[in-house]
Amino acid sequence: MSGSGSEKQAGVTGENGPTVNPDGSLTFIYKSDFDENGILYYIGTDGLTTDYTNPAEGSRVIVERSSDGAGVPSSFVGRESKYTSTDYKDKGNKPFFQVDMGLLRRVYPVRYTVRHGSKMGWLRMENWTFEGSIDGKRWFTLRKHTDDESLPASVGYGTYSFEIEDILVRKCRFLKITQTKPNSGQKNESGKGQFEHSTLFLSGFEVYGRLIEGTGVDDEPSGLPKKKQEDAMVHERLAKRIKDLEEMCVS
């Protein structure tokens, strides 16, 4: 059950607010990039009761990145276009940004939005994974992106929104974006950035779907019915096998 307040009635939707489900959980529906309908915006306004502030303020959510580069980690969950990145010297690793939604929150993500973290659009990420976790240690794939050119390269701080397949929707406390290959700087046709650029630039993230709050967040053992759990595990094993075969062919 949600601990989101007794005034909320099942089936009620605010103008920019979530739908309250019969079990007390909340459903957040995407309308446009960085609208006021996302879960992080909801947290940043203390449940739409105050003016918005970055949800990382006051440790309402906790943000981490693989290494310290430009800007501050909290910009990852912010709503402003800020130069934010991992360390450009951190080569050989897969840079990431992640957010801990909180001890008493669980999210079933169905869509997410990201903002590139540089005015140089040609440094956008094109290969990455969006992952979830309950404990921050064991991760599962929510969506994998390969040679994805959705983020605009012609403008800085471009945004785009991505859906999660129904079969992969799982309950999460932690959400993470990991860049799996160097960003697009290595193939920039303008003559700039013709090198392997491992830095990950992100200055905005929002997530939509179902939110559970309160002491009963783990009463539901899984985000999927048993059949869907089995299908999801098969899907993950197949994706891993395909990746292994691709790497064998390359080598």
CATH number of 19-220: 2.60.120.260
Query: Coil, strand, or helix at residue 239?
Result: helix
The closest alpha carbon to 37, from 179, 147, 132, 161, belongs to 161
Domain ranges of the chain: 19-220, 225-251
The torsion defined by the Cα of 23, 138, 28 and 22, in degrees rounded to 10, comes to -10
Contacts of 58 (CB under 8 A, 6+ apart): none
Which pLDDT belongs to residue 245? 65
Residues 6+ apart with CB under 8 A from 23: 1, 2
Q: Which residue has the higher pLDDT, 70 or 227?
A: 70
Q: What is the pLDDT of residue 60?
A: 97
The H or E element containing residue 211 is: strand 202-213
How many whole angstroms separate alpha carbon 226 and alpha carbon 115?
A: 35
Residue 7 predicted with pLDDT over 50? no
Structure-model confidence comparison of residues 19 and 14, the more confident one? 19
Beta-bridged to residue 62, according to DSSP, are 100
Are 181 and 144 in contact by the 8 Å Cβ rule? The answer is no
pLDDT digits (tens, 9 = 90+) for 87-144: 887 766 799 999 999 999 999 999 999 999 998 888 899 999 999 999 999 999 999 9
Tokens of 92: 């050989």
C-alpha–C-alpha distance, residues 64 and 42, integer Å: 20
